[in-house]
Amino acid sequence: MRILIVEDDDRVARGLATALTRHGYDVRRVATAADALAADPVDLVLLDLGLPDADGIEVCRKLRRRDSVAVIAVTARAEERDRIVGLRSGADDYVVKPFGIGELLARIEAVARRTRPARAAADEEQVTHRVGPLTVDLAARTASLGGAALTLTRKEFDLLAILAAKPNVVVTRDHLLDQVWQASWEAPSRTLDVHIAALRGKLSGDPAVTIETVRGVGYRLQG
């Protein structure tokens, strides 16, 4: 995951960058609002609200209007009204200084889980997957089999898109649950099976495309 730290305190920024890099994140640093808005695309922004050239709240609003990047406000502003303003400006979470790196890592992971579908949609815009006679258009959120349109629910389409992105490769149950339901616990597991069964029924018009069950592991789209 690519993380942009927007922090004018060099000591704080260096400490954050070092800790996050150690945990496997691709980290970039800037110290001003102007540099934050001009930075290359990232997956998540850790945004200090007390920047030298602009209010971080306005930066958050501009980031939110521009793309689907996740934003965590990291600030010394601890009053309830400040938290409310920060969250209403578009921040996905709000962390008050001082904080422990363990808490921050947990919040990053939680925000990443919640915002992953939106980021995936943005990253895969205008991408079309073709598996034999099956075509999955991610931008239009449509699928067709042998030229005939398939009628899919939102979850069915999301599952098919993930499977079609890796044809003839096993996609684990945990990955499908995490991507489509943002969960890997046992409760929705049966729901996954039901949706796969429904997809199989809708793909049954052409034997050239099948969804194979790999017992105990996951599913593979073959075509």
Could you tell me if 34 and 56 are in contact, meaning their C-beta atoms sit under 8 angstroms apart?
no
Fold category of 2-123 in CATH: Rossmann fold (3.40.50)
Distance CA 95, CA 75 (A): 6
What local confidence, expressed as pLDDT, does residue 81 receive? 87
Distance CA 201, CA 195 (A): 10
Q: Are strands 134-137 and 142-145 parallel, antiparallel or unpaired?
A: antiparallel
What local confidence, expressed as pLDDT, does residue 223 receive? 83
Distance CA 67, CA 179 (A): 20
List the structure tokens of 123.
């990253």
156-205, pLDDT tens digit by residue? 999 999 999 888 889 898 888 888 876 544 445 678 889 999 999 999 88
Instruction: Point out the residues of the chain with pLDDT beneath 50.
Output: 122, 124-126, 184-187
Residues 6+ apart with CB under 8 A from 199: 152, 156, 159, 160, 211
Domain ranges of the chain: 2-123, 128-222
Report the greatest alpha carbon distance in the chain. Answer: 62
What local confidence, expressed as pLDDT, does residue 65 receive? 77
What local confidence, expressed as pLDDT, does residue 212 receive? 94
**Domain covering 128-222 in this structure, CATH number:** 1.10.10.10
The model carries a pTM of: 0.54
What local confidence, expressed as pLDDT, does residue 117 receive? 53
Q: Is the dihedral of CA 128, 113, 67, 34 positive or negative?
A: negative
